[in-house]
Amino acid sequence: MKRIILILPVLFIMHYTYSQSNHSCCSEMSATDRFAAFGSDAGFVAAHPDPIPIHLTDLKGTMITFKCKDGADANGYEVKSDKPTSKYILMFHEWYGLNDYIKSMADALQSELSDVNVLAVDLYDGKVAATSDEASKYVQTVKTDRAVNIINGAIDYTGSSTMGSIGWCFGGGWSLQSALLMGDKCKACVMYYGMPESDKDRLSKLQAPVLGIFGLQDGYITPAVVAKFQDNMKDLNKSLQVKSYDAVHGFANPSNPKHDEAATKDAWNLTINFFKDNFK
């Protein structure tokens, strides 16, 4: 009995130490794995309330499938310009999946830019989360190899040499990863509070200017994480424009109880102008 009493404090200390250090241990992971690890973090899940159900019937685009080199088809929501154009922007969903909210954002982006096609890529292979608990499970099941195959499949599908990317949250990190995969085809990358790439060897291959939009109250993609990203990009002489708002993670999603309308509007205007300037 005495042994048990002595061991319990040690176990408590070990648990406490692990809890306090679990974010730093994630720094050894890839950027995408670091974000996926948040799916098992109760605090992160709690910061993402269940999304408000949005079911739209007047969407402009259509669901499509395209081939991937791993042999499995992938899905996407494509919004084509009224006038034929070879320009494409790949859009990446939040951790809830390719739901009607993301589809509506694809519609809105295409309408704002006019002469650009938008393809919202489904990295969940058809799964859409109705709750944060579901989303926390889905985000942890995304395999990097499969996601890369999906993105490369989307790039091949477009056949475009003038591309861009945009994403929020989970998709913000994948927006940056897709820009790396596109190489010189990518003319502009926008990432909303996504996990930056911290590997400078990988970042050195980036050829697109980046607009990073973040929240100063974000407890996960923290100001310190953003500052390190800025330092790395500066060291590599890469183009990065950062705008941080006094807002929480996910502030641009209207389903968020702490949705910041003013910041969202300002960030959207920056996004549209950024694409217009870099697609000239």
Domain spans of the chain, in order of start: 30-278
The conformational region for residue 125 under phi > 0 = left, psi -120 to 50 = alpha, else beta, is left
**pLDDT given for residue 87 in this prediction:** 98
The verdict on domain 30-278 having CATH code 3.40.50.1820 is: yes
Per-residue pLDDT of the chain (280 residues; tens, 9 = 90+): 434 333 333 333 333 333 333 343 344 678 888 888 998 988 888 878 788 777 788 899 999 999 999 999 999 999 999 999 999 999 999 999 999 999 999 999 999 999 999 999 999 999 999 999 999 999 999 999 999 999 999 999 999 999 999 999 999 999 999 999 999 999 999 999 999 999 999 999 999 999 999 999 999 999 999 999 999 999 999 999 999 999 999 999 998 888 999 999 999 999 999 999 999 8
Question: How wide is the angle at C-alpha 50 spanned by C-alphas 44 and 54, nearest 5°?
Answer: 135
Nearest-angstrom CA–CA distance, 278 and 280: 6
Q: Distances from the Cα of 132 to the Cαs of 48, 54, 128, 145, in angstroms?
A: 6, 15, 11, 24
Nearest-angstrom CA–CA distance, 177 and 237: 18
Secondary structure E strands in 174-257: 186-192, 210-215, 240-245
Containing H/E element for 16?
A: helix 2-25
Which residues make beta-bridge pairs with 213?
192, 243
Closest listed residue to residue 54, CA positions, set 255, 249, 251, 250: 255
Which residues make beta-bridge pairs with 120?
77, 91
Containing H/E element for 134?
A: helix 132-141
| Biggest CA pair distance of the chain | 79
Residues 6 or more apart from 115 whose CB is under 8 A from it?
81, 83, 85, 87
